[in-house]
Amino acid sequence: MSEKRYFKIYSSRHVIGGKNNYIRLFDAIDKQSSYDEPQLKKMFEGETFIKHLPSEKNYLYNNVLDSLTFFHKDKTFLARYCNILIEIEILYNKGLFEQCKRLINRSKKEAYSLEKFSILLVILRWETLIYIKEEEGENLYKSFDEEMRVLDIVRTQSAFMQLAFNIQIRIDKGNVSQKFLSESEKRMKMLYPREKEKRSFWIDYYYQSALGLICSVRNDQQARFSCYREIKKIMDEAPQFIKDLAAVYHTNFNNLVNGMFILKKYDVAEGLIRKQRSFLDAHGIKNQMVQSINFLNTSENELYLNYKLGNIKEGERVVKRIETEVRKIKPSFSLALYDLLFFMAVADLLAHNYSAALKWLNRILNAGQDIYIRKELQLNARLLYLIALFESNDWLLENRLNATRRFFAQESAYKLQSNILDALRIIFEDNVTHKNKQELKRLISETKKQQRKSSEEIMYKTFDFLEWIENKKREGKGKWS
């Protein structure tokens, strides 16, 4: 709302004798729940400007962008430093080198403290130009050396960033081998600078993050959570990074919460979730994107906690509390939305709200092709969908079961989910033959072995399908014995 008010004030400078067409266009679009161009054309039917709607939209777009630039010009480091770089250039061009150097020194100090190396390289280049102009040889060579040190740090940061993301992508695709992990770890140790002055926050962060991922796949939980604690310690000791890198701090918080879930330390996890939810207010962070991601992750964590503790009623209350906000989030905003939708479905399933559970699962299964949803989540959503149909005695179960079997046939690499599907099929048929008893027993045993080898539960929270299957066996009393 504050940005909209500023836009009106900013735009009023260009208004002569009434409202300009692009401001009228802005007001009309603002009133729409989603952009509807045919409706706009109908609203302004008969007016000359609507015949040139593409150019009017372009003009409006540029005006909105200009007003946002002015509105935020002193609110972020990058916006502030764009202005500082302009000031440095002006002072240099006017030959005011002493004033220029004072501004450079002041700017360098802050850029170093916040490790804004991309900006720092530009500042250093201006410093170099001044020393060339003033023929200060000794300072010139010092400036060259400083620039090379910063470039080395940037190169090392990029290398670690690439390593960490490559490991994560391999894990997401289920294509990570021990050989790949060993080679990645070897390269990390080779790249990590021994001298502290050659390290940076991002080098330390991506080193610990990549190491944490490797430990996850190897199921070395103690080492994994040591990495996340180290990241939190690094950031807590430099609070300027928490505000500047709120998304990073939040992600690490989420890793710590997940760690407590794996270790079954649910009381610790509950305390961490409360801190995770409140850290934005505690640090005065107003970033809307981070607020939304924080909402998605903390809501998922809360639902998962209630699921693991068996708090079915509380899980149902959480879904009712958050569902209005969840509906407002665009499908393409974040993949975290789909993890949350899955556990909203779990909560409603356990509360016997089967139609609601199916509704949340449909949002996952009907996501557009341009949205990449983790394969395990896609498969698990289909399995949970079948359970919801079974529990509600839905006549579509058989049809959906056949469709799911066809889908799984194309995903032969996911043996764990395929075995669960086969076990569910036997439970659904309720055909207690000797052959089915032996087959179900084999599938449960095989699935338990696969779960021990799989990193899925370690990397991502999920529903315990095997627990549900065994509960159904117990409900059948002696017939499955």
Tell me the residue type at 382: R
Tens digit of pLDDT at every position of the chain (481 positions): 888 887 877 777 755 544 577 788 888 888 888 888 888 888 888 887 788 888 888 888 888 888 887 777 766 667 777 888 889 999 999 999 999 999 999 989 888 888 888 889 999 999 999 989 888 888 888 888 989 999 999 999 999 999 999 998 888 777 788 899 999 999 999 999 988 888 888 899 899 989 988 988 888 888 888 898 898 888 888 777 788 788 888 988 898 898 889 888 999 999 999 999 999 998 888 888 899 999 999 999 999 999 999 999 999 999 999 999 999 998 888 989 999 999 999 999 999 999 999 999 999 999 877 788 888 999 999 999 999 999 999 999 999 999 999 999 988 888 889 999 999 999 988 777 888 888 888 988 988 888 776 655 556 789 999 999 988 888 765 566 5
List the domain range (segments joined by +) for residue 43.
2-71
* Whether 93 and 61 share a structural domain: no
Q: Residue 431, by phi and psi: left (phi above 0), alpha (psi -120 to 50) or beta?
A: beta
**Dihedral (CA of 128, 131, 133, 135) sign:** negative
Task: Name the nearest CA neighbour of 128 among 152, 108, 153, 158.
Answer: 108
Where helices occur in 72-192 by DSSP H, the ranges are: 77-93, 97-113, 117-133, 137-172, 178-191
In a domain, 274, yes or no: no
Query: Among the three residues 71, 98, 127, which one is the final residue of a domain in this structure?
Result: 71
* Whether 61 and 82 share a structural domain: no
CB under 8 Å, gap of 24 or more: what pairs does 359-365 form? 361/385, 361/388, 363/331, 363/338, 364/338
* Whether 109 and 127 share a structural domain: yes
In a domain, 298, yes or no: no
In a domain, 60, yes or no: yes
The C-alpha atoms of residue 480 and residue 471 are separated, in whole angstroms, by 11
What does 189-203 look like in DSSP terms, one character per residue? HHHS-SSGGG--HHH
In a domain, 336, yes or no: no
* Whether 17 and 53 share a structural domain: yes
* Whether 66 and 8 share a structural domain: yes
For the chain, what is the domain count?
2
Name the pTM for this structure. Answer: 0.69
Distances (CA, A) of 311 to 188, 305, 349, 436: 43, 8, 13, 33
**Polymer length of the chain:** 481
* Whether 85 and 126 share a structural domain: yes
327 neighbors 313 (Cβ within 8 angstroms): no
Task: Name the nearest CA neighbour of 73 among 64, 83, 65, 63.
Answer: 83
* Whether 60 and 101 share a structural domain: no
The C-alpha atoms of residue 302 and residue 373 are separated, in whole angstroms, by 22
Query: Among the three residues 51, 71, 91, which one is the final residue of a domain in this structure?
Result: 71
The C-alpha atoms of residue 385 and residue 366 are separated, in whole angstroms, by 13
The CA-based dihedral angle spanning residues 39, 40, 42, 47, taken in that order and rounded to the nearest 10 degrees: 180
State the SS3 of 251-314.
HHHHHHHHHHHHCCCHHHHHHHHHHHHHHHHHCCCCCHHHHHHHHHHHHHHHHHHHHHHCCHHH
* Whether 6 and 47 share a structural domain: yes
In a domain, 259, yes or no: no
Task: Provide the greatest CA pair distance for the chain.
Answer: 94
pLDDT at position 481 is: 57
In a domain, 93, yes or no: yes
The C-alpha atoms of residue 2 and residue 242 are separated, in whole angstroms, by 24
In a domain, 304, yes or no: no
In a domain, 104, yes or no: yes
Query: Among the three residues 29, 53, 71, which one is the final residue of a domain in this structure?
Result: 71
Any residues with CB less than 8 A from the CB of 335 and at least 6 apart, and which? 371, 372, 373, 374
